[in-house]
Amino acid sequence: MSADLQALLPQLSLVPCVLIGHSMGGKTAMILAVQRPELVERLVLVDISPIPTTADLNFHTYMTAMKAVHIPKDLPLSRARKMADEQLSPVIKAISVRQFLLTNLVESNGQFVWRINLEGLIQQLDKIKDFPLLQGSYSGPTLFLSGAESDFIQPSHHPEIKRLFPQAQILSVPGAGHWLHADQPQSFMASIKDFLSLQ
């Protein structure tokens, strides 16, 4: 995924860029920034660290539940999302998490499908949780933004964060879990805006 970004960003004339990545996207962004720092002006990493992930959010259970969702053809998207929400609610209790996941439900040729590759994610979950040992560092401005109720960034991760990202700021959003942007959207946006406004 990092290699894909390394090829795509210059093609789109988006370099150097402000790169924001959440969870797996954050791992991708970290690898890109360390390997190709000239492509990244600023870096925001949302509830993820450069340490293999040990926190468990029942990703496998969630993805299995998403795969099991069945929606009849030719419904309005709003009705389809309501039906999917009803089918997911026994397994995924948090409304904010379900609402976030449902943004991935799309219509394709009259059928409702998940835009994300659920099967690929399920099969590669162990690799997704891992993180390579990187050499070098990214010396640009970096924000690690964690959810106060999440275990994805631990104090024990801070030395490796500082080794790879020496200018890193590490902030926590109160009242947020792993899906900060869904749990506390205003605080999430305010934290990023404050970081981007720094000289």
Q: What is the DSSP string of 148-191?
A: TT--SS-GGGHHHHHHH-TTEEEEEETT--S-HHHHSHHHHHHH
* Greater pLDDT, 94 or 192: 192
Span 22-44, pLDDT tens digits: 999 999 999 999 999 999 999 99
| Mean pLDDT within 183-197 | 96
86 is catalytic: no
pTM here?
0.88
Q: Which of 23, 150, 187, 191 is catalytic?
A: 23
178 is catalytic: yes
Cis upstream peptide for 72 (omega within 30°): no
Q: Which residue ranges form the domains of the chain, and what is each CATH number? A: 2-53+130-197 (3.40.50.1820), 59-123 (no CATH)
Tell me: pLDDT of 72 over 80. yes
* pLDDT band (50, 70, 90) for residue 174: very high
Residue 97, pLDDT score: 84
Tell me: pLDDT of 199 over 80. no
Residue 90, pLDDT score: 96
139 is catalytic: no
Q: Which of 49, 178, 181, 187 is catalytic?
A: 178
Count of alpha carbons within 13 Å of 129, Cβ hemisphere only? Answer: 14
